[in-house]
Amino acid sequence: MAEREETANSGIVKRALSVTGLPSLASGIWSYVDNTIRWYWIPDWLPSWCPTSQSQLMAAEDRMLSCIRSAFTKEFVPVSCGNMLWTLAFCSDVVKDKTPIVLLHGFGGGVGLWAQNVEALSQDRPVYALDLLGFGQSTRPVFSTDPLEAEAQFVESIEQWRAKVGVESMIILGHNLGGFLAVSYAIKYPARVKHLVLVEPWGFPEVQETVEADRPIPVWIKALGAMFSPFNPLAGLRLVGPLGPTLVQTLRPDFKKKFSSMFSDNTVSEYIYHLNVQSPSGETAFKSMTGSCGWAKRPMLQRLDQLHPDIPISIIYGSRSSIDSTSAASIKEMRTNSHVEIITMRGAGHYVFADQPYDFNNKVLQVCEKVD
């Protein structure tokens, strides 16, 4: 067994070296990508190629949370099939009787990204932040490849988490994928949801098939899209192996700026790297739920009529975000007899809660005041 593992590891390295530019460059790259993608589920080789591990992820998260002064607990909450959801809980005796806020991160995120929010939000009510199933430090199981079943696995894990923690009802705040799952959960378990706060939610509009006639998509872009469509969204980050940390710092320097009041080093980029080069469980589920160009295969707007009219919704967008906010207007039009509030945060991008944390926290607290 050890010899087979060594052979597999050396094979990966040889393929990596072949990418440096030999005559058969194209076929070499493709062979390497194909074999790497096939093997990315094998946890034994990940640390040898990608400089990461579960302990490194834990340490990176600890650094992200090191500036929080309030008391909080950390634990793995068991759900079904032996899975566990990693959970941060902020619950002082002063606020324990109020309706809690449950924070659901977006695609590729984790509990550490709420570092600038949890302390302020927990001054008024209990706050729970959890790593979604398949992400962060939570268990990374094999998801169904069916988009309906994959979505249901996420939703049921949240409900099982709620029952285990003992929360009767909650305010769910979800960013990106977390916003999509928050509504899906509320459709199935309306009695458990007091208010939905959707922050730059993913997966609401239907696929836009039309393309402007004067701006056709170049053929080479279509070809690249077809070539990489079988692979997970973050496969490239694992593909580059030891270059991954530098790649994150280079491509996403904005994350360092978002948390500049807390860190002056690469704490944030290191956390994001370790979050996204573990076994791609939730990432694979997300890909199953996603169609071409990132559109949801089961758009939430098509099912919004199933959401109980008594559940109020607050939708938060950043004024500088590239995400189309027209879905918010559609939600308001569809729910004429329900409370729908659309909030735009000036100077914020897609990561509203990190771009403008002070304004974001105050606005969320204002929204929650209406609950109890």
pLDDT given for residue 334 in this prediction: 96
Lowest mean pLDDT: which of 37-46, 104-113, 190-199, 232-241?
A: 37-46
* Domain tally, the chain: 1
- Torsion-angle region of 81 (φ positive above 0: left; ψ -120 to 50: alpha; else: beta): left
Query: What distance in Å separates the CA atoms of residue 105 and residue 88, rounded to the nearest whole number?
Result: 13
Residue 65: inside a domain: no
Residue 30's pLDDT band, with cuts at 50, 70 and 90, is very low
User: What pLDDT digit, counting tens, does each position of 52-65 carry?
Assistant: 999 999 999 999 99
Residue 187: inside a domain: yes
**In this structure, what are the phi and psi dihedrals at residue 316, rounded to the nearest 5 degrees?**
-115, 125
CATH at 126: 3.40.50.1820
Read off the pTM. Answer: 0.85
Query: What distance in Å separates the CA atoms of residue 119 and residue 158, rounded to the nearest whole number?
Result: 23
Residue 75 DSSP label: E
Go through the chain and tell me how many residues it has: 372
Residue 353: inside a domain: yes
**In this structure, what are the phi and psi dihedrals at residue 317, rounded to the nearest 5 degrees?**
-125, 155
H/E element holding 87? Answer: strand 84-90
Residue 10's pLDDT band, with cuts at 50, 70 and 90, is very low
Residue 51: inside a domain: no
Range of the domain at 91: 71-204+281-367
H/E element holding 161? Answer: helix 147-165
Residue 177: inside a domain: yes
Query: What distance in Å separates the CA atoms of residue 83 and residue 295, rounded to the nearest whole number?
Result: 28
Give the distance from CA 213 to its chain's centroid. Answer: 34
